[in-house]
Amino acid sequence: MPAEWEPQTAVQLTWPTASGDWRTVLNRVEPVFHAIATTIAQHQNVIISCGSDTDFSRLSHLYQNHKRISFYRVDNNDTWARDHGPVSCYIEGELELVDFTFNGWGNKYASALDNQISRQLHQLGAYGSAIMTSEHWILEGGSLETDGNGTLLTTEQCLLNPNRNPGLSRADIEQRLQSSLGIKRVLWLSNGHLEGDDTDAHIDTLARFCSSSTIAYCQARQADAHYESLRAMEKELQGLCQPNGQPYQLLPLPLPSAIHNDEGDRLPATYANFLIINNAVLLPIYGVPEDRVAVERMIQAFPNHWVHPINCRPIVEQYGSLHCLTMQIHQETSNAS
């Protein structure tokens, strides 16, 4: 399984529909999707699945001059491509897209249509000549963070949760990760969770590889309700070692000031939910004071990349952010082959 920063051909998005969860705020959400799609298209191709005939026709016309953006008509339940999209893997240097079963984050939400999106896009030719295989166990892209050299960072709360693969032990999960994705070692975090997160602590909300030796992670102020949990996670990260025995370089990202919805519930805003693409990083921001520091930290972590801040305040209303909306498709041949 390649690291996210390895060369890509495209990023996949699932456009929100007027009948879905975004229907009451679609006028605020669509501009964010537009910003994400057009920013990615400055660097590489964008694959967008549309859940209605109306959206497919409207968007195909609206973006007809954007040669790097392609639309496909595929039914959906929701918009979180990170978790229903295929995972890139290389077999003897050739790209294989692995389609895992998606069950709506432990049967919390309807997911039957989302579980078919990747296979339908493959049948429509969206992924070019890439091979697709299906794995009949439950795994979401947001729960996977790899350095591209066989190390996976993930959380116990998600991967070992009985609402995903009941009956499978930690050893069983590790064996399946090795068989499906070539993972050689798994670094498990037992701490870390954001209020409002309904994914059971996806790693892409908490800690991310910026390189094979650097991990960016969420750090809360002492007055924040997340402080104890994230401090415990920080201590776990400090105890992890690279395959060569050296500790990881850790880059703290501030936790955004508390953002609440109209019901007063805190939303899981996080800067760890950034997306790495070819020569660029898309960073979610939220219109809070910590945005500036987060941008500075991303520039520090990725000195050879453009850093594109994108305001994802409307997106976090549905308990996810930028990385959750996207799934990268890597290039068809590995540079390491």
What is the rounded CA–CA span in Å between residue 30 and residue 37? 10
CATH assignment of 8-330, among 3.40.50.720, 3.75.10.10, 3.40.50.1100, 3.65.10.10: 3.75.10.10
Q: What pLDDT, on the 0 to 100 scale, is given for residue 336?
A: 62
Residue closest to 55 by CA, chosen among 82, 76, 84: 76
The number of angstroms, rounded, from the C-alpha of 139 to the middle of its chain's C-alpha atoms is 13
Quick check: helix, strand or coil at residue 59?
helix
- The tens digit of pLDDT for each residue in 73-112 reads 999 999 999 999 999 999 999 999 999 999 999 999 999 9
Percent of the chain with pLDDT over 70: 99
* In the chain, domain spans: 8-330
Token pair 């496909």 is found at 72
Distances (CA, A) of 284 to 150, 162, 264, 281: 27, 31, 22, 10
The amino acid present at 208, given as its one-letter code, is R
Angle at 48 between CA 44 and CA 54, to 5 degrees: 145
User: Can you give the pLDDT at residue 152?
Assistant: 99
- Residue 337, pLDDT score: 47
Count of C-beta atoms within a 10 Å radius of residue 182? 15
Model confidence over 277-301: pLDDT tens digits?
A: 999 999 999 999 999 999 999 999 9
Predicted confidence at residue 243, as pLDDT, reads: 96
> Residue 46 burial (CB < 10 Å; 0-12/13-18/19+)?
buried
Please report, in tens digits, the pLDDT of each residue of the chain (337 residues total): 999 999 999 999 999 998 888 888 899 999 999 999 999 999 999 999 999 999 999 999 999 999 999 999 999 999 999 999 999 999 999 999 999 999 999 999 999 999 999 999 999 999 999 999 999 999 999 999 999 999 999 999 999 999 999 999 999 999 999 999 999 999 999 999 999 999 999 999 999 999 999 999 999 999 999 999 999 999 999 999 999 999 999 999 999 999 999 999 999 999 999 999 999 999 999 999 999 999 999 999 999 999 999 999 999 999 999 999 999 999 998 876 4
Around Cβ 266, how many Cβ atoms within 10 Å?
15
Paired tokens of 102? 């998606």
Residue 10: per-residue pLDDT: 99
